[in-house]
Amino acid sequence: MAMPPSTSATLIGYFPQNGPGITDVVVETILLFLGFVSLGLRLWSRRIQRAQLQLNDWLILFAMLIMTTRYGIEVTLVVKCGMGFHIGVVEEVGGEELVALFSLLLYIMDCFWVTLVTLVKLSILHFYLQVFRQPIFKRAVYAGIGLCVAFWFGAFFGTALFCIPPNKLWYPNTPGHCGDNNKMYTACATSDLGIDVIIILLPMPILWRLQMATSKKIALTFVFGLGFVIISITAVRIKYMLEMDPLDRTYSISQIALFSAIVPLLGIINASMPIIPPALRKISKSSFLSTTIKKLASSKSSDRHFEILPEPEYPLVNVSGNRGAYAVENRDHIQVTTDWEIYSTEATDRLPSKTDNNSARSGGFRI
């Protein structure tokens, strides 16, 4: 019986030179953080609504658990096994045992990926069942669920049993046989792409028949249609799969692994988008945010109505005139006083009768 690959060799010291690997880790870390944020908002929204967690919530929770585990494996592939370097570098530093460990971890990660994307799809379809009650639509959703289950069985066991026995995948000299790597990857990715298109298009006719403003229909279409971004990424992923060099897997698989991680992470975020509005409304109404917005509005208002005038436009001049205006000057200050008459030309009939013949006077403005 073959022993597990040794883990003594490592490429950790070469990580700063691994450009593709660094890109992989950074992008996945950011998206994983956003995935946890969307999951937190989803659960908070359920709490705000005082609603129990539904099956679609549990599916996303389980998917996030698998995604986090897969992320840890992929970081190990990059940091320890040198994913992103050419195979010659990996063999020179770590030998055949490190290449075997790379193949074993990649095998586990591929099995996780099939389960992960299936859980996300099932979560979205179950959400459809809770929102849309039309019998015809529900039958279409159940058909989509059947496709997802069939996809998982075919892709999971096709990956798990790609080599007979499975350890031939990381120990090529083991007696047995393996399938065509490119064909398997392409078949899984193409099936995944087709099911995604079906899931995204399913609710569109119903959304556009709803009695609501067109702007709201567009907004809902955007929320449900974010999956088109995932479809585009899946198409790019298929392109790199077709171009993959099986003799230089440590390098050529790095771009595929990145896109393979982006797809389920965006799927988790997309699946939570229709559910998180209660939490977003709660955040927008928080006292801290409201106070900040009021301060910003007040600041903008002040800037709009009051302005510091430049001094050169209004030079100091001598003040003189009749109607009791006079100026008193000494060493300390200049005092200007005057009398003012106040008239109302538009609302004279509303003034008291004694003001018809007398003007109101005010004085004593001091500079």
Question: What pLDDT does 329 receive?
Answer: 47
For 132, residues 6+ apart whose C-beta sits below 8 A from its C-beta are: 138, 141, 203, 206
Instruction: Please state, in angstroms and rounded to a whole number, the distance separating the CA atoms of residues 39 and 268.
Output: 8
Question: What are 99-151's pLDDT values in tens digits?
Answer: 999 999 999 999 999 999 999 999 999 999 988 888 999 999 999 999 999 99
Q: List phi, psi (to 5°) of 306.
A: -125, 140
Interstrand relation of 177-178 and 163-164 (parallel, antiparallel or unpaired): antiparallel
Question: What pLDDT does 358 receive?
Answer: 45
* Cα→Cα distances 9→82, 92, 93, 98, Å: 11, 11, 7, 6
Question: What pLDDT does 291 receive?
Answer: 54
Instruction: Please state, in angstroms and rounded to a whole number, the distance separating the CA atoms of residues 180 and 330.
Output: 102
Question: What pLDDT does 247 receive?
Answer: 84
5-14, 206-215, 219-228 — which is least confidently predicted? 5-14
Instruction: Please state, in angstroms and rounded to a whole number, the distance separating the CA atoms of residues 259 and 207.
Output: 30
**H helices then E strands: how many in the chain?**
11, 6
pTM of this prediction? 0.73
Question: What pLDDT does 353 receive?
Answer: 46
Q: Judge whether 92 and 98 are in contact, CB under 8 Å.
A: no
- Three-state DSSP state, 322: coil
The length of the chain, given as a count of residues: 367
Residue 329 DSSP label: E
pLDDT band at 10 (very low <50, low <70, confident <90, very high): confident
> Does the pLDDT at position 328 exceed 50?
no
Q: Which residue has the higher pLDDT, 18 or 328?
A: 18
pLDDT band at 224 (very low <50, low <70, confident <90, very high): low
Q: Judge whether 241 and 186 are in contact, CB under 8 Å.
A: yes
Question: What pLDDT does 215 receive?
Answer: 62
Domains of the chain by residue range = 12-284
Q: Where are the alpha helices (DSSP H) in the chain?
A: 19-48, 55-79, 87-131, 135-160, 181-201, 204-209, 214-224, 227-242, 249-272, 277-284, 287-305
Q: Judge whether 264 and 74 are in contact, CB under 8 Å.
A: no
Closest CA to 119 of 173, 75, 64: 64
CATH 1.20.1070 fits domain 12-284: yes
> Does the pLDDT at position 158 exceed 80?
yes
**Beta-sheet strands, E only, within the chain:** 163-164, 177-178, 326-329, 334-337, 339-342, 360-363
213-219: which pairs have CB atoms within 8 A and are 24 or more residues apart?
none
Q: Judge whether 35 and 42 are in contact, CB under 8 Å.
A: no
